[in-house]
Chains A and B, each alone.
Chain A
Amino acid sequence: MLGAGTKRTEEGAAVSGDTEAAGSTGTAAPAPPAADGTAARTIEARDVNLFYGGFHAVEGVTMTVEPNKVTALIGSSGCGKTTFLRSLNRMHELTPGATVKGDVTLDGEDIYAAGVDPVAVRRLIGMVFQQPNPFPTMSIYDNVAAGLNLNVGRMRKADKDAIVERSLRGANLWEEVKDRLDKPGSGLSGGQQQRLCIARAIAVEPEVLLMDEPCSALDPVATLAVEDLIGELKSKYTIVIVTHNMQQASRASDRTAFFNLEESGKPGRLVEIGPTETIFTNPTQKATEDYVSGRFG
C-alpha cells in the first residue's frame, strides 16, 4: 500500500508521474526536425495485442514513444517486452503463426495497414539485436554498407564511402577500424561488433532505432561505451531499448515503460510508463515499485 497522495489507477491503464493516461492520445503532431534535418518520429501503440498462434503473449498495450528520446522497456523475463518491441517494426510476424491486433502508427501512419510493405517499414525502423551479428562473409566496410547494398542497389563508390565513414563515426567506431575496413567483421571484440551493428543500422538512415538488450552480451566497459553512444544518437533518432538491467534503464533512458506478467500463461501487460526519474524515485504503481526495488520473487 503506497502512502497517501500517490495516484492509483485501474487495471491495464498506464499512468506516469506527469499524468499520461492510456488511450487518451490522438495522433500527435509531427515532431520538429532535428538539427540536421532528419525528422525523428513518434511511434504510437494503441491497444496492441500480440499472439503466437493461439497463445496471447501481450495484451492491451497503449503508449507513445516520443521522438528524440530514449524509451526503455523493462520487466521480468517473459513479460512480453521483446515481443512488443518486435511488433514495432513488423518483425513479430516473421515468426510462423504470430499475429498482431491493434494499431501501431509512425507519425500517424498505421504501419499495419493493408498495402503497407513490411520491408519498407523496416527500412524506416531499424533494429539492433542482443547478440552482435555482423555478417560473417563480409568485411567491415561491406557490413556497414550491407543495408545499402541489399536495398538501394547501385551506388557510386564515393557516396558509399562517405556513408560508411559517417555511420562508423556516428557509432564511435571510425577511429578504431578505419585502417582495416576490408578485414572481416568477426575479428572485432564484442563491444566493437555491437557498435558495428549499430553503424550498419544507422547507415540506412532510419528514423527510429529499436534495440533488443544491446549490451547484455558485452562486458561493463563496452556496455558503458554503447550507452554513451545511445545518448549521442538520440539527438538524431528516436530510440527504444529493451533491457533487463535496471541500472542501464535508469542511466541511459529518458522515459521508462514497465511491463509485467502476473503469472506464467497469462499475457504480459504494460503497467506504467513515465519519465525515468519518476519511475525510479517515485513510481505510482506498487508492482513497479516492487520490481525496481528488486522485491520480486
Chain B
Amino acid sequence: MPESAGRQGYQEELETLEASALDGLNLVSAALQRTLEAIEHQDVELAQIVVADDDRIDGRYLEVHQALITLLATQSPVATDLRLISALLHVLKSVERMGDQCVNICKVIPLTGNEPPSDESMVKLILGMGSQTRSLISQAKRAFAERNVEMARDLVHQDDVVDDLNRDCFRLALAIGDDADQREWAMTMLLAARAIERIADNAVDIGEQVAFVVTGLFREFEDASHPTT
C-alpha cells in the first residue's frame, strides 16, 4: 500500500513501479556482462551462476506485473497513465525475455567443451555484439526514463550494427572448415550470437514503447515483414 493516500499515493506508486521495471534492465545488463565473461573465459561456473540468478529477474517480473494489474483495477488510469502502464507491461516482458536469452546462452557454454576456441575472431565478434547490445540496453533505459523519442528511434541504427555483426558471425561459421568438433563449436557460437541479437531486438521493442507512451501511436520502427532495405 502506498505511504500517502489517494492521488499522491497513486502517482508515487506508478513512479516506483516504473523505476522497478527499468531497474530490471540493469539486472539484465549485469547478467549479459557476466555471460560475456563466461564466453570469453569459458567459465562454466559463472554460466551456472547466471542461470540461477535469472530467478531474480523472473521474480522482479512477477512482482511488478502483479502490482501493475492491481493499479489498473483499482485506479482506472486513463490517457498517459494508461499508456505508461501498458508500455511497462511490455517492457517487463522484454526484460524477462532478455533474461531468458542470457540463460539460453549460458546453457550452451558448457557444450563448447574445455578446449580453446577454434576461431578467436568469432569470439571477438560475439563479444563485440555483446558490448554493443549492452550499450543498446542502457540507451533504451535512458530513452524510456527521459521519454526521449529521438533516442529511442536511434536504437534501430544501433541495432543494425548488431545485425551486421551477426551476419559476419554466420559467414565465419560457414567458413570454419570440415572438422566436426570445430563445426559443432561454431554452431554453438552461432546460437549464442543469435541470442544476443534477440536481446538487442528486445531493446528496440522497448524503444517502440517509448514512442507509444509519448505519442499514443504504436508503430514498429523496423518491421521484419516490411523490410526497408
Contact = CB atoms under 8 A, between A and B. Distances in A.
Whether both chains belong to one complex is answered with: yes
Contacts, number: 38
B79 to A, nearest CB: 14
Interface residues of B, number: 14
B228 interface: no
Nearest to B6: A228
B8 A228 contact: yes
Contacts of B10: 251
A281 interface: yes
B11 to A, nearest CB: 12
Contact of A247 (B4, B6, B76): B76
Nearest to B70: A277
A277 B2 CA distance: 14
A277 B74 contact: yes
Nearest to A231: B5
Contact of B74 (A224, A234, A250): A250
A67 to B, nearest CB: 15
B9 to A, nearest CB: 7
B73 to A, nearest CB: 4
Nearest to B76: A247
A290 to B, nearest CB: 16
B7 interface: yes
Contacts of A20: none
Scoring B7, B73, B76 by chain A CB atoms within 10 A of each residue's CB, the highest score goes to: B73
B75 interface: yes
Given A281-B69, A281-B70, A250 B7 contact: no
A140 B128 CA distance: 73
Interface in B1-31: 1, 4-10
Contacts of B69: 281
Nearest to B8: A228
B5 A228 contact: yes
A276 B74 contact: yes
Interface string A249-265: 01110100000000000
Contacts of B5: 228, 230-232, 234
B73 A280 contact: yes
What is the interface of chain A mostly: helix, strand, loop, or mixed? Answer: helix
A280 B75 CA distance: 11
Contacts of A228: 5-8
A277 B6 contact: no
A37 B70 CA distance: 33
A250 B75 contact: yes
Contacts of B75: 250-251
B115 to A, nearest CB: 51
A276 B75 CA distance: 11
Nearest to A226: B6
Contacts of B9: 231
A280 B74 CA distance: 7
Contacts of A247: 76
A269 to B, nearest CB: 24
A224 B69 CA distance: 22
Interface in A202-236: 224, 227-232, 234
A247 B76 CA distance: 7
Given A277-B70, A281-B69, A281-B70, A224 B76 contact: no
Contacts of A229: 6
A254 B69 CA distance: 16
Interface of A: 224, 227-232, 234, 247, 250-252, 254, 276-277, 280-281
**3 closest residue pairs by CB, A with B:** A231-B5, A228-B6, A280-B73
23 contacts: A224-B6, A224-B7, A228-B6, A228-B7, A228-B8, A231-B4, A231-B5, A231-B6, A231-B9, A232-B5, A247-B76, A250-B74, A250-B75, A251-B75, A251-B76, A254-B1, A276-B74, A277-B70, A277-B73, A280-B73, A281-B69, A281-B70, A281-B73
Interface of B: 1, 4-10, 69-70, 73-76
